[in-house]
Amino acid sequence: MKTNDRLREVSGIIRLVLILSCIIALTKMVCAQDAGDDARKSPTKVEDKKPLKAESLSITVIVTAQKEPEPALSLPLSVTPVTESTLRDADVQAVKQAAGYAPNVFINEFTSRALSNPFFRGIGGSPANPGVSTLIDGVPQLNSYSSNIELVDVGQIEFVRGPEGALYGRNTAGGLINITSRPLSEKWNAKAQGNFGNYSLNGFRASVSSPLLKNRVGVSLAGGYSSRDGYTINDFTRRDLDSREAGFGKAQVFIRMFPESFTVRSSVVLQVVHYL
């Protein structure tokens, strides 16, 4: 009798498990059918949307690496432009800091920035006979003493990698650094900036620009000062060995001969550096 009762209990449990399994299977089939009907009735919204074009998401950057204003993406060159917005947002104050945005570009920096040498793809040279030249507003500097200057009133920096002797002559076996100043301002602008840090670092720079005659004549003045203590101490004299103090400035005069067609720019860039 006990054996029969146990068999009945086991058979009851088996029947209950089978019934629950059937119910779960039917529920899944109904849900899947409903989802398929909804998908057939309402097509996905992605099909209705128009595909995004790459041109609508890109920003056109104009460079003068080939001495004519052209979009950077249309040139057969390896060029990296660092725009004014990037210089401002990243607080770039020297060419070496801007070089961090360009691949295969290295600028060494000693205590004296005048001895800094740029290297593009491993090609460089000495300060008097560089392998990478620097141009400021289209004027070649003929040596690397200006390759790592303080930046004031700069609109864009272009790092052009590769030989450029056909357009710029000798000393461009590795490439060139093309620095462009801000263009003629259509309204009064004034900016000032200060910074400080350890090793008695302090600096100040300011700029002002204005149109003297609307659409005809404009002027721009900028300058600054920076200094810091040295990183190395002479154990014998207990004095710093590589402290730095520099004053720099730029003056520009714009004369527009024909509105929107031809502008004459005259600029003077000055940098006086004192090292100990």
* 187 band by pLDDT with thresholds 50, 70 and 90: confident
Residue 234 vs residue 112, higher pLDDT: 234
Contacts for 128 with CB less than 8 Å, ≥ 6 apart: 143
- Reported confidence tier of residue 69, pLDDT bands at 50, 70, 90: confident
Answer left, alpha or beta for residue 238, where phi above 0 means left and psi between -120 and 50 means alpha.
left
Average pLDDT over residues 210-235: 86
Q: How confident is the model at residue 32 (pLDDT cuts 50, 70, 90)?
A: low
pLDDT class of 206 with cuts at 50, 70, 90:
very high
Query: Any residues with CB less than 8 A from the CB of 119 and at least 6 apart, and which?
Result: 105, 106, 107, 108, 131, 132, 174
CA atoms within 13 A on the CB side of 156: 18
Give the pLDDT band of residue 12 (cuts 50, 70, 90): low
CA angle 225, 227, 230 (to 5 degrees): 165
Which token pair is 116?
Answer: 């800094």
**Cα-based torsion angle of the residue sequence 73, 77, 79, 83 in order, rounded to the nearest 10 degrees:** -40
| pLDDT confidence of residue 79 | 94
Contacting residues for 246 by C-beta, under 8 A, at least 6 apart: 113, 150, 225, 226, 227, 271, 272, 273, 274
**pTM of the predicted model over 0.85:** no
Confidence of residue 46 (pLDDT cuts 50, 70, 90): very low
Rounded average pLDDT over 23-29:
65
- Average pLDDT of every residue of the chain: 80
CA distances from 158 to 21, 99, 192 (A): 71, 9, 25
Question: Going by C-beta distance under 8 Å and a sequence separation of 6 or more, which residues neighbour residue 31?
Answer: none
Q: What proportion of the chain, given as a percentage, has pLDDT over 70?
A: 75
Whether the per-residue pLDDT at 126 is higher than 50: the answer is: yes
Closest to 222 measured CA to CA, from 273, 157, 156, 268: 268
Q: Quote the pLDDT of residue 276.
A: 56
pLDDT of residue 245: 85
Q: pLDDT value at position 80?
A: 94
Residue 172 and residue 164 in contact, taking contact as beta carbons nearer than 8 Å: yes
The pLDDT-based confidence of 17 (bands split at 50, 70, 90) is low
Match 């001495």 to its residue by tokens.
Answer: 67
DSSP state of 116: -
pLDDT at residue 102 tops 60 = yes
Task: Give alpha helix (H) positions in the chain.
Answer: 2-41, 45-48, 54-57, 84-89, 95-98, 165-168
152 pLDDT exceeds 80? Answer: yes
Closest CA relative to residue 152, chosen from 246, 276, 274: 246
Residue 184 has pLDDT above 70, yes or no: yes
Q: How confident is the model at residue 48 (pLDDT cuts 50, 70, 90)?
A: very low
Phi/psi region, residue 8 (left: phi>0; alpha: psi -120 to 50; beta: rest), is: alpha
- pLDDT bucket at 97, cuts 50 / 70 / 90: very high
